[in-house]
Amino acid sequence: MAMPAAEIEALIRAALPDAEVEIEALVDDGDHYRARVVSAAFAGKSRVQQHKLVYEALGGRMGGELHALQLVTAVPN
């Protein structure tokens, strides 16, 4: 039940091509990450909707294969 950071980043970019993605491992176990995702696709959306876009990009892995992803989303300045 682990997932390399590069794979998470690739999945997010595939769904949100303009996204700036920064991923940091919280614990070095391939399972605990912090991600900051900045994308114009978030404009006008609530935080819940923004996070859901990222979860959708991860295609159901969130909460399963990927246990812990601390997520911050933002719209580009």
Partner 1 sequence: MSETNARISQIVENNDVVLFMKGTPLFPQCGFSSRAVAILDHCGVAYESVDVLQDMEIRQGIKEFSDWPTIPQLYVKGEFVGGSDIMMEMYQAGELQQLMDEQQVAKAS
Q: Which residues bind partner 1 (CB under 8 A)?
A: 47-48, 51-52, 55, 60, 62-64, 68, 70-72
- Short-list 12, 11, 18, 25, CA closest to 68: 25
Closest CB 48 distance from partner 1, rounded Å: 5
Could you list the beta-strand ranges (E) of 1-77.
Answer: 20-27, 32-38, 68-74
Closest CB 46 distance from partner 1, rounded Å: 9
Closest CB 31 distance from partner 1, rounded Å: 12
Q: Provide the 10 A C-beta neighbour count for residue 14.
A: 11
